[in-house]
Amino acid sequence: MSRPHRVKLQTLGCRLNEAELEAWGERFQRQGLQVVAEGEPADLVVINTCAVTQEAVRKSRQILRKSHRALPTARLVISGCLASLEADALAREAGVDLVVSNADKDRLVDIALETLEIPAMPELAVTDVASPLFARGRQRAFVKVQDGCRYQCTFCITTQARGDERSRPMDEVVEAIKRLHGSGVKEVVLTGVHLGGYGIDLGADLAGLIERVLTETEIPRLRIGSLEPWDLPDAFWDLFQDPRLMPHLHLPLQSGSDAVLKRMARRCKTHEFARLVARGRQCVPDLNVTTDIIVGFPGESDADWRQTLDFAAAMAFGHIHIFSYSPRAGTLAAKLSDPVDAAIKKARCQDLQGLLRCSKLAVMRAQIGKRVSLLHESPSKERDQPWRAGYTPNYLPVRLVGSPGEAGNRILDVELTEVDAENALILARPVAQSEISGSEVGPI
């Protein structure tokens, strides 16, 4: 083949999957392959699967089958959590050429090239490490710093799929972020399975890693991925004095009932969670806290559910990822008795959705009138209504109106003017440089 092989990268599930996909894209490019966008022809398709729920398993299989139908002549490589848990079954799927487990995914590019006899063409290598990210229409980069988890939450299959905790050396993380920034990336998210456990195997910790990134790189915006709501020392909050560390934390709650949390084998009770959030909001202005809640966990009574609703309302979350519980084969929770009826789970999900809407809009309305920086990520596709989309430092969705749909990946100064309740986002206007002089602008 005279031209470089074209590779399409696909993923679903967690941000860690996205971080791994971005790393593969960089490595494929180093070997002279071309990373292509969705809808373009490809010679090789790599899919990073998810298995956290039965629905994720279904979607993973759906994506690989759809990819094979769309590109029947392309070689198909499957990795991720489903590949680790059901390797033999995936290998029998039509069109699948190679299955790479999580244990080997750091070597996925080398394994794929060797096994599938795809010629490397390093003389054609693209040195721009961010181009695979931009080719997929993304601007925010995810950097994997940790993998695996030492805990055994009863609903979670990830420990089995990901294995023991491993931390990426600090020097590697710092250098990776420097390369991304040098290629035009303006916002990076640190990700891991148990991110708060970073460094347990290195004699280090997450706060130390963040401090080094802020000290040794010039990345304009740094975010922290999902953090379990424990093991965060008081010194952690001091890091937010650097305005480049964005004031948003995703702290998975899972339930507002201590009885349910005990059956889940969670390590944080509700009063501890509330204390953590209160401490964070005291230390970090405009801190936006988002969370996960599982609805209908086995044994969840009406009283348990009322406690969850009341607690979620009191926490004033900016967003809630709502999961309707379904048994996941291989987990301890799948063996628990007293399942919650499907109709009850549906009604409870609807109750939580209603609460979430009110909570999210309240968080947004509290921001109106403020001037902040916006990472412009995507232009409008509507020619007659130009606007640009992005997120505030505290991760609230914004539509910047009255401006041409310019290319993304720019940090803009904006004023938050009103809440679009129908679309659950904030409307904003651009702030001219002359307006900024002498005035206070939110964190960059």
pTM over 0.85: yes
> Using CA atoms, how far apart are residues 192 and 25, in angstroms rounded to an integer?
19
Look at residue 56 in the predicted model and tell me its pLDDT: 87
3-state secondary structure at position 190: strand
Domain 248-366 architecture: 2-Layer Sandwich (3.30)
Q: How confident is the model at residue 381 (pLDDT cuts 50, 70, 90)?
A: low
Is the CATH number 3.40.640.10 carried by domain 6-124? no
| Rounded average pLDDT over 117-142 | 74
Query: What residue segments make up the domains of the chain, in order of their start?
Result: 6-124, 139-246, 248-366, 371-436
> Using CA atoms, how far apart are residues 315 and 188, in angstroms rounded to an integer?
27
pLDDT at 239 over 90: yes
> Using CA atoms, how far apart are residues 250 and 166, in angstroms rounded to an integer?
21
139-246 adopts what CATH topology? Transcription Regulator spoIIAA (3.30.750)
CA–CA distances in Å: residue 367 to residues 325, 336, 358, 420, 425: 33, 43, 15, 13, 11
Look at residue 436 in the predicted model and tell me its pLDDT: 58
pLDDT at 285 over 90: yes
Residue 64, strand partner residues: none
CB 130 within 8 A of CB 183: yes
Q: How confident is the model at residue 444 (pLDDT cuts 50, 70, 90)?
A: very low
| Rounded average pLDDT over 198-226 | 95
Per-residue model confidence as pLDDT tens digits over 319-340: 999 999 999 888 999 999 999 9
Nearest to 44 by CA among 138, 126, 120: 120
The answer for residues whose C-beta is within 8 angstroms of residue 90's C-beta and 6 or more apart is 49, 64, 78, 82, 83, 96, 99
Q: How confident is the model at residue 265 (pLDDT cuts 50, 70, 90)?
A: very high
> Using CA atoms, how far apart are residues 319 and 279, in angstroms rounded to an integer?
19
Say which range, 94-108, 257-271, 397-411, has the weakest mean pLDDT.
397-411
* 434 or 92: which leads in pLDDT: 92
- Stated as kind and residue range, the H or E segment containing 38 is none
Is 139-246's fold the same as 248-366's? yes
Per-residue model confidence as pLDDT tens digits over 99-119: 999 989 999 999 999 999 998
Look at residue 3 in the predicted model and tell me its pLDDT: 74
Look at residue 379 in the predicted model and tell me its pLDDT: 59
| Rounded average pLDDT over 136-145 | 84
Percent residues over pLDDT 90 in the chain: 67
* 405 or 232: which leads in pLDDT: 232
| Rounded average pLDDT over 183-203 | 93
Say which range, 33-37, 257-261, 366-370, 403-407, has the weakest mean pLDDT.
403-407
pLDDT at 405 over 60: no
- For the segment(s) 371-436, the CATH number from 2.60.40, 2.40.50, 3.30.450, 1.10.10 is 2.40.50
Average pLDDT, the chain: 89
Nearest to 408 by CA among 393, 425, 389: 389
Look at residue 39 in the predicted model and tell me its pLDDT: 82
Look at residue 385 in the predicted model and tell me its pLDDT: 55
CA–CA distances in Å: residue 421 to residues 8, 309, 311, 319, 390: 36, 22, 23, 14, 17
